[in-house]
Amino acid sequence: MKRVLLSLSVILSLIGCGKRTAELNLLVGTYTDTESKGIYSFRFNQNTGDNSPLSVTEIPNPSFLAVTPDNKIVYSVTEQQVDAAVSAFAYNPADGTLKLLGKRPTYGSSPCHVTYVGKDVVATNYSSGSLTIFPLEGDGNLKDGSLIEFFEIGPDSLRQEGSHIHSSQVSPDGKFLFVIDLGGDYIYRYPVEDGKVTTSEPVKIKVPAGEGPRHFDYSKDGHFMYVITELEGNVLVYEYNDGDLSLKQTIEADPLHARGSADIHFSPDGKFLYGSNRLKGDGIAIFKQNSETGLLEYAGYQETGIHPRNFAVSPNGKFVIVACRDSDVIQVFSRDPKTGLLNNTGKDIKVPHPVCVILTPIISAI
């Protein structure tokens, strides 16, 4: 009898573990210029694609979010020309709720991206062409930020009349922060030491003129960086070597040249790269990566709703979740692990003006 009860206990435990592994939270940043209230959270099953609403946190224009590795703090921009800010929230993944810890001005305009570094948080201010670095309190709250301004120009007089800082990320080895300047066609490199950004004069890496770089991702092995360019609609493939970048390939992501390429992410297995395109033929370009050379080959294209800005790939690689801003919906696509191709499941998540989507565990790391 004891053996039967023990076996039953083990089975129930395994079922519980399987459920926790399958279930994630989906955090959604939005534009609040229509009916949106702010940040939405949902429960998402990464085995089935099923979803259900959890909570709403009111905040203006939280167009980009970042979550700490321990799953305890969420940072959000308020993307506005005036009163632009970054907010820190204590995050309860059990029910998806957020509690405001603090809010600090960026001293720039239209912050569109935020990155957690370790002991700093970095916001990129698109319109003012600047970077704001916030030191952190011990509880993850923000201290007052310092502003770094850029004054570059590119050949496109409409979109590159000055610097437009669009995103930043820490390198895979943790040594550097790379910052993307869409307006100036530059990638800036700052040293990172013990989780803090060293704000010395950055190394400037010139991107081919007129490309308008926007977002980027790294290969699974950390040897390559992939930059999607908004204006030319290409993916630039760079070899990464201890902070140095060498351009190896330029491959077309937007065949319609609509000047609206946006986001870029790898599948968890590192075999396929995805890039979103807006303004014409809205959808996701799909590439297969050569693991030895890092080079890409075109694998296919998936049409989406209107204005697919940001998207996320589930940790198990089964789904791609796409925020279609002007369709007021997040689309859920299943993913073929062999071909990389996508299929619309029809399990749409209705959200007004969704912009940013992040999948997180439903428990915090210890």
Dump pLDDT digits (tens) for 26-85.
999 999 999 999 999 999 999 999 999 999 999 999 999 999 999 999 999 999 999 999
The predicted pLDDT at position 1 comes to 46
- pLDDT of 355 above 70: yes
Q: What is the pLDDT of residues 248-258, one digit of tens each?
A: 999 999 999 99
The Cα-based distances of 223 to 96, 201, 287, 294 in angstroms read: 35, 25, 17, 8
Q: What is the pLDDT of residues 146-205, one digit of tens each?
A: 999 999 999 999 999 999 999 999 999 999 999 999 999 999 999 999 999 998 899 999
DSSP string, 108-142: SS-EEEEEE-SSEEEEEETTTTEEEEEEB-TTSPB
Task: Please report whether residue 227 resides in a domain.
Answer: yes
Separation of alpha carbons 129 and 151, rounded Å: 7
φ, ψ of residue 27 in degrees (nearest 5): -95, 135
Taking residues 126-153, report their average pLDDT: 98
Report which of 191, 209, 208 is spatially closest to residue 200, judged by C-alpha positions: 191
Residue 143's DSSP bridge partners are none
Q: pLDDT exceeding 70 applies to what percent of the chain?
A: 95
Q: What is the pLDDT of residues 207-229, one digit of tens each?
A: 999 999 999 999 999 999 999 99
Task: Please report whether residue 207 resides in a domain.
Answer: yes
Q: What is the pLDDT of residues 296-310, one digit of tens each?
A: 999 999 999 999 999
Any idea what DSSP says for residue 158?
T
Separation of alpha carbons 208 and 234, rounded Å: 11
Dihedral sign computed on CA atoms, order 53, 54, 56, 57: negative
Count of structural domains within the chain: 1
Task: Please report whether residue 30 resides in a domain.
Answer: no
User: Can you give 23-55 as a three-state secondary structure string?
Assistant: EEEEEEEECCCCCCCEEEEEEEECCCCCEEEEE
Specify the 3-state DSSP secondary structure of 186. Answer: strand
Task: Please report whether residue 10 resides in a domain.
Answer: no
Query: What range defines the domain where residue 357 resides?
Result: 109-361
Task: Please report whether residue 17 resides in a domain.
Answer: no
For the question of whether the overall pTM of this predicted structure is more than 0.75, the answer is yes
- Which residues 6+ apart lie within 8 Å of 47 measured at CB? 22, 316, 318
Task: Please report whether residue 284 resides in a domain.
Answer: yes
Distance of CA 167 to the CA centre of its chain: 9
Task: Please report whether residue 320 resides in a domain.
Answer: yes
The predicted pLDDT at position 2 comes to 42
CB 274 within 8 A of CB 265: yes
The predicted pLDDT at position 200 comes to 87
- pLDDT of 4 above 70: no
CATH of the domain at 213: 2.130.10.10
